[in-house]
């Protein structure tokens, strides 16, 4: 069974570093070498891996997504969050990360980010570690 963790967002569009939460789950399982799948079961949120050292990277990503997919553009989906669905599709709903010696095998600057596109909300992230 995957572990479900909650992520509380405070803005409509946000990127939240969940790397330590994911690593904690890997450590809890005791898996030394395997794979960790992080999945977001929401249609207006996503998950990605990117640089976590400079917060301007996340700001740049969110700004570019908002430029590419503006919030109001005469979309046919009239619920008011069509842009959120498109942004989530562009980001993707899951990432797979190798686990080596009980640690996520991320690059020096890489972090795992939960991407909110229709917040603020409390969201779920599912984490499954396989050996």
**Angular region, 67: left φ>0, alpha ψ -120 to 50, beta rest:** alpha
pLDDT averaged over every residue in the chain: 97
Tell me how far the alpha carbon of residue 78 is from its chain's centroid: 25
> Considering the entire predicted model, what is its pTM?
0.96
| Mean pLDDT in residue range 56-69 | 98
In terms of CATH, what superfamily is 3-130?
YjbQ-like (2.60.120.460)
Are residues 35 and 130 in contact, defined by beta-carbon separation less than 8 angstroms? yes
Of 52-61, 71-80, 113-122, the one with minimum mean pLDDT is 71-80
The residue extents of the domains of the chain are 3-130
pLDDT, tens digit (0-9, with 9 covering 90-100), for 13-62: 999 999 999 999 999 999 999 999 999 999 999 999 999 999 999 999 99
């Amino acid at each position: 069974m995957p572990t479900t963790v909650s992520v509380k967002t405070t803005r409509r569009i946000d990127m939240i570093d969940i790397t330590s939460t994911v690593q904690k789950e890997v450590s809890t399982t005791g898996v030394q070498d395997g794979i960790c799948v992080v999945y977001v079961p929401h249609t207006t949120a996503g998950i990605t891996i990117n640089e976590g050292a400079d917060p301007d990277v996340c700001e740049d990503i969110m700004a570019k997504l908002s430029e590419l997919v503006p919030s109001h553009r005469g979309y046919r989906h009239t619920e008011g969050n069509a842009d959120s669905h498109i942004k989530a599709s562009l980001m993707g709903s899951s990432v797979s990360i190798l686990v080596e010696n009980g640690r996520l095998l991320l690059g020096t600057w890489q972090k795992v980010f939960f991407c909110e596109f229709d917040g603020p909300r409390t969201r779920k992230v599912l984490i499954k570690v396989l050996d």
